Amino acid sequence: MKSRIFFLLAAAVALAFAACTGPVSYQDKTLPAEVRAADLLSRLTLEEKASLVLFNSPAIEPLGIQPYNWWNEALHGVGRNGSATVFPQPIGMASSFDTDRIEAVFSAVSDEARVKNRLAAEQGEVFRYQGLTFWTPNINIFRDPCWGRGMETYGEDPYLTGQLGMAVVRGLQGDPDAPVRKAHACAKHFAVHSGPESSRHRFDVDVSERDLRETYLPAFKDLVTKAGVREVMTAYNRFRGVPCTASSYLVQDILRKEWGYEGMVVSDCWAVADFYIEGRHGYSSSMMEAAALAVRNGVDVECGDSYTSIVEAVEKGLLKEEELDRNLLRVLTERFRLGEMDRESPWDGLDSAIVEGPAHRALALEMARASMVLLQNNGILPLRAGQKIALVGPNADDKEMLWGNYNPVPKHTVTLLQALRQRIPDLVSFRGCDIVDADDSSSALDDKTLLQQLEGVDVVVFAGGISPRLEGEEMPVQVPGFSGGDRTDIELPAVQRRLLKTLHAAGKKVVLVNFSGSAMGLVPETETCDAILQAWYPGQEGGTAVADILLGDVNPSGKLPVTFYKSVDQLPDVEDYAMEGHTYRYFRGEPLYPFGYGLSYSRFSYGDARIRGRKLLVPVTNTSAVDGTEVVQLYVRRPDDAEGPVKTLRGFQRVQVPAGATVTVAFPLTPDTFLWWDARSGDMKPLRGYYELLYGGSSAQDALKSVPYRY
């Protein structure tokens, strides 16, 4: 086992240092982190060792060890720790298809995190949400739009998720070769986890090895083997009968042995307790047995309280102290590498004014603009000067909706109402209805009052959709269309749908700005609305970003990272984890809006691609009079694999194309381009054979051109 080898090597290095230089001291800052960790480990009692693998580790004052809490959140900003910059929800950031911008976002987040950590340390103890170890990104595959936590992910495609997830890691952790690590990222939830929320503590997932290796694991492998993520979090659910936190197949065989992972493994919060709590997995008979199983499986830190029984487990022979030592060596090594043990780092001089400062707010606005996806436009957008505009809808002036979930609470937020009022002095505005009503009618204005208030209005901007108060992690919500944080349908709430129908029937021009963290079934709205803009939960600068798009100051460039289906009738059962029927890769029907889709105020055409050497050269022409940005997408299909994906993303590039100009985009054709399921090896391999290279502006078949290729 590679983790065992790491432990032995660290001990050997420590002994070598002692032999060559005399006694080794964990307090010697000139020594490598693993040498210091091995020395410190040798000085600890069993009780002290057990305390240091708790997520809320106490101080060990005789050895100078400060208390540390491993639990911190940075889903799209330093979360749950007061004021910080709120960037768009990850599903919105994924719409940018922009790795560089996402890396910049999380570099800013880690800067703010370092400031907050330093200020907390100056006050004394570093409590929860003040540390340097962040349980993000969520790189689970958003396979079903009804999952409430899907908005925390980077979409439904394994390649896109891996590319964007690696950008998050690079931004948070900084230079991997630096002597002090900037922060920890954490790839979660390992593995095969994407709802529903109501059954996650007892659900058993059993998928084919092909689905596992082709869909559910690739992003994790990318973050581990390419980006060097320092933490991996296990999932709540069972996998093939075994809780993920106890699964030797996932943690030991795949993560540690196959991928050579030497970083930390942490449990999701109280996931170890799910082993034995009645009505959940029923896998262990007691807390002590569960703790022993998790420690033995190489879960280094537990979020929960089951590890308080570790000492008893060792004393009763359920666990060997050496197994605890193996895990704790990784924990101590990472604490030294973070500079946390020494309370010093290269970022100690960062000015606290950067937290939600002008530069980071500007980056939040830039990211929000890039996240907007224009789904429909009959020419009504951008809005024109001289039009009488009204802003109606429950999300027009809702700050908390813009923030999403796992969020900071910023000092400054711009809602859509505030942004439009600044630019349209005679703006008409009123709420019109709530997001959803129990009786679907009581909150809405009657038709006569509604139309009276809109007399003389040329265009109604309707700020609708749903809210992070309705979709999210294990929520006490039971209203039409929502249950426990998940969704039971994907339709626009009926009270909003009726209002839009009334406006359309009255002859009003309507622009729907849909705020949601997940795909919506908007079939009726394609008839009642002249334009539809998908705004997600766009962060503290979201109102400004939407206004910029509506008024034409910014040309929309976002693309959907998920499929928008017509209704849940097109989907398999939400608890069916087999990929057939899920996501654009295995969906055989006609979606409402396909993965990768998004309109612009520009028009783009694709010429015939050519292959030169090991590159696919794709000419893209802007045939309009408006400068624009296009996300050029490369998909691969293997015609002789009837059971495989319809197509699968293997490349994307954001390119600026001036009006009337042609830009040639080069896609390298590497072995990774042709990763495909190999039944002989039971894994993904660069597989020889015939492929179709499909390229264009979305995954829709009629939007793609193709080139045959033999690899």
Positions marked catalytic: 268, 471
What is the number of other CB atoms lying within 10 angstroms of the CB of residue 100? Answer: 11
Burial class (CB in 10 A: 0-12, 13-18, 19+), 663: middle
Give which of 533, 486, 491 is closest to 513, Cα–Cα: 533
3-state SS, residue 117: helix
Alpha helices in 345-393 (DSSP H): 358-371
What ranges make up the beta strands (E) of 23-87? Answer: 56-57, 68-69
3-state secondary structure 427-487: CEEECCCCCCCCCCCCCCCCHHHHHHHCCCCCEEEEEEECCCCCCCCCCCCEECCEEECEE
Q: How far is residue 290's CA from residue 665's CA, in Å, rounded to a whole number? A: 53
Q: How far is residue 504's CA from residue 520's CA, in Å, rounded to a whole number? A: 20
Residues 6 or more apart in contact with residue 47 via CB below 8 angstroms: 311
Contact 406, 556 (CB under 8 A): no
Give which of 163, 172, 42 is closest to 107, Cα–Cα: 172
Give the containing element (helix H, strand E) for 172. Answer: helix 158-173
Strand-strand pairing, 610-612 and 373-377: unpaired
Cα 599 to Cα 88, 531, 533, 698: the distances in Å are 20, 11, 10, 10
Residues 6 or more apart in contact with residue 565 via CB below 8 angstroms: 145, 490, 519, 521, 571, 587, 591, 592
Give which of 249, 256, 293, 252 is closest to 271, Cα–Cα: 293
Contact 545, 368 (CB under 8 A): yes
Cα 477 to Cα 252, 441, 484, 567: the distances in Å are 38, 19, 5, 22
Contact 588, 641 (CB under 8 A): no
Contact 263, 2 (CB under 8 A): no
Cα 177 to Cα 182, 295, 368: the distances in Å are 11, 29, 31
Q: How far is residue 472's CA from residue 152's CA, in Å, rounded to a whole number? A: 9
3-state secondary structure 424-443: CCCCEEECCCCCCCCCCCCC
> Which amino acid, 112?
E
Query: Alpha-carbon dihedral of residues 273, 279, 285, 286, nearest 10 degrees?
Result: 30
Strand-strand pairing, 531-534 and 373-377: antiparallel
Q: How far is residue 462's CA from residue 501's CA, in Å, rounded to a whole number? A: 12
Burial class (CB in 10 A: 0-12, 13-18, 19+), 562: buried
Q: How far is residue 575's CA from residue 572's CA, in Å, rounded to a whole number? A: 8
Residues 6 or more apart in contact with residue 153 via CB below 8 angstroms: 90, 91, 94, 138, 139, 140, 141, 142, 161, 194
Provide the angle, in degrees to the nearest 10, between the axes of the packed helices 321-337 and 2-21. 70
CA 254 distance to own-chain centroid: 22
Cα 211 to Cα 207, 214, 223, 643, 683: the distances in Å are 6, 5, 19, 11, 10
Residues 6 or more apart in contact with residue 87 via CB below 8 angstroms: 76, 77, 93, 105, 109, 363, 364, 367, 368, 539
